[in-house]
Amino acid sequence: MMKQTLASHNIRMLFWISFFGTISFLQPVLTLFYFERGLTSSDILIVLMFWSGAVLLGEVPTGIFADRYGAKYSFLLGSFLKFLSIVLLLFAYEPWMFFLYSFINGFSVTFFSGADEALIYDSLKESNEENRMDHAMGKIQSASFISMLIAVLFGSYLAKDLADTQFTVLIMLGLAFHLIELLLILGVKQPTADSFQKENPFLQIKSGLKVIRQAPQLLLMFLNVTLVFIPAGAVYQYFDQPLLKDAGVPVYLIGVFYAVAAILGYIASNSIGWMTGRFSRVWLMNLSGLLAVVGLLLSGLFGSSLWVVLGAFFLLRLVGAIRYPIYSQLSNDLIPSGIRATTISLLSIVDSCLDLVVFGVLSSIALKGYSTVLIGCAFIALLGTLLPIAPIKSKRTELKVEEDSQFKL
């Protein structure tokens, strides 16, 4: 990737924004924190449903906001709401407070969803490097693994007794880092010809829906990704802590395993270019999906075996690091610049609907134990993996012509 370009600047800024914005000292003990504050397994899944409901409500309006006013303002508003949601955790002792926290936090994420990819893709286009989108997103994603490496080691150690005062310290540390994120967002620069248009929002939605209709493989690809991510990422990360604990891992060592997983994720994220240079992106998507199914199934069936649980834990973390950057390249190749954030937000609505369905189904079987939940997750991930990802080269060219004609009018 060329140096001293707009793309290199924004990638560098989003790397550090991701580092400070994703750091969570509470993460290695989050589920245990929920249990200590009185939540049940079913309550935790309802917390996830509130998060997804907020995303469902927020995706389109925040996507339009990003397309009209730019990534910087979208990021600033989202970061402020995220900060506010984390403050609520200091006072959350009743389920409804956790639901409120989750709703605000989920809504805050929608200000970043789509806007970050749109900003990077259009920045890369200015230096004719849009074919390196997966490399860029892998680099940005790697920041979250570095922040995790730091946070989980300190977090699990500082909360080793699971005392309420220890949880408060972890939350306050996280808030301090999110303040730095707010300041870093001010350094983001807009591309000259970018995705942020001042047109009628209803026309933006109409154009985004048209893109999805014209490229059905975009929707299938998205369903493939999200039906694997929901069980292998969103659900699994809320049950891996009790799973590790029940398999015999002390609380303070959970952070160590999180740290090792973060190192593996960092290496994988920075090796996306090497992988896609040797294997097709579609093949990597299919392989990683099948690995997610295997990891979830082993976790559900052999939850009492320490080595099986640890193997599945690292496998699922590795899968999460590989899939998103590759999907980002494949999907953004199909989306015109002027409505990129809005189109991604429209797709995210589908994700939120699926979140609600999956969390609702899993919450009904959560009373039987989280091993049952994980087995259910494996079947859902298998369904997603079986959805075909079609080659997009010819369609990309067709849409490129349409994009050029659309924005010359």
For residue 236 the two structure tokens come to 């699994």
The single residue listed with the structure tokens 């920045």 is 123
pLDDT (average), residues 48-73: 82
Q: What is the pLDDT of residue 295?
A: 93
In this prediction, residue 395 has a pLDDT band, given cuts at 50, 70 and 90, of: very low
For residue 380 the two structure tokens come to 């859902």
Do 343 and 399 touch, CB atoms closer than 8 A?
no
Q: Does 406 have pLDDT greater than 50? A: no
Measured distance CA(141)–CA(150) in Å, rounded: 15
DSSP readout, 93-134? Answer: -SHHHHHHHHHHHHHHHTTTTTHHHHHHHHHHHHTT-GGGHH
Q: What is the pLDDT of residue 397?
A: 40
Measured distance CA(110)–CA(28) in Å, rounded: 24
Question: What count of other Cβ atoms lies within 10 Å of the Cβ of residue 397?
Answer: 11
Rounded to 5 degrees, what are φ and ψ at 129?
Answer: -120, 20
338: three-class secondary structure by DSSP: helix
Measured distance CA(95)–CA(205) in Å, rounded: 36
Measured distance CA(189)–CA(75) in Å, rounded: 12
Choose between 290 and 350: higher pLDDT. 290
Nearest alpha carbon to residue 344 among 21, 16, 13, 109: 109
With b for 16 or more beta-carbon neighbours within 10 A and e for fewer, the 328-343 pattern comes to bbbbbbbbbbbbbbbb
Q: Does 133 have pLDDT greater than 50? A: yes
Nearest alpha carbon to residue 196 among 131, 116, 133: 116
Q: What is the pLDDT of residue 213?
A: 76
Average of per-residue pLDDT values in the chain: 82
Q: Does 308 have pLDDT greater than 50? A: yes
Do 72 and 119 touch, CB atoms closer than 8 A?
no
Measured distance CA(358)–CA(365) in Å, rounded: 11
- Among 206-220, 262-276, 283-297, the least confident range: 206-220
* Percent of the chain topping pLDDT 90: 23
Q: What is the pLDDT of residue 199?
A: 53
Q: Does 369 have pLDDT greater than 80? A: no
Give the sign of the dihedral formed by CA 34, CA 15, CA 189, CA 324.
negative
Helices (H), 37-111: 41-69, 71-89, 95-109
Q: What is the pLDDT of residue 222?
A: 84
Q: What is the pLDDT of residue 162?
A: 82
pLDDT (average), residues 106-119: 84
How confident is the model over 140-182, as pLDDT tens digits? 888 888 888 888 778 878 887 888 889 999 999 999 999 999 9
- Among 46-55, 103-112, 248-257, the least confident range: 248-257
The dihedral region occupied by 70, where left means phi > 0, alpha psi between -120 and 50, and beta the remainder, is: left
CATH T-level fold of 6-404: Growth Hormone; Chain: A; (1.20.1250)
Q: Where are the domains of the chain?
A: 6-404
Integer angstrom CA distances of residue 253 from 33, 154, 164, 242: 16, 11, 19, 13
